[in-house]
Amino acid sequence: MQERNAQRTDRDCMKVAVLSDTHNLLRPQAATLSGTRDAVIHAGDIASLQLMDAVGEAAGQETPVSFVWGNNDEEWAEGLPESHCFTLGIISFFLVHN
């Protein structure tokens, strides 16, 4: 197994950024996502629409971004789902905050 992993290239891998509990703070490491990830997933406690927009901008127009509601997300986030099922490549995800 180690030999196979050693031969992998970036083209063989999907890079997914997983964020959660940002509480209205997009750290510099997360702000540089554009063009470097195949998808961005945020598991709730976003805390503001502005931060949600910032995550989308950091991801870039071509990168899919998924958000779910967190227990600290208030009225502005009422439209966010509590959970989200989706597939990236051959991997299926169930995204939920709790």
Structural domain containing residue 10: 2-96
Instruction: Give the number of domains in the chain.
Output: 1
pLDDT recorded at residue 9: 56
pLDDT recorded at residue 33: 77
CA atoms within 13 A on the CB side of 94: 1
For residue 31, give the 3-state DSSP assignment. Answer: helix
CATH number where 69 lies: 3.60.21.10
The per-residue pLDDT string of the chain (98 residues; one tens digit each, 9 = 90 and over) reads: 344 444 545 567 889 999 999 999 999 888 887 778 899 999 999 999 999 999 999 998 889 999 999 999 999 999 999 999 999 988 999 999 98
Amino acid letter, residue 97: H
CB 37 within 8 A of CB 12: no
Q: Which long-range contacts (CB under 8 A, 24 or more apart) does 25-30 make?
A: 25/51, 26/51, 26/54, 26/55, 26/58, 30/55, 30/58
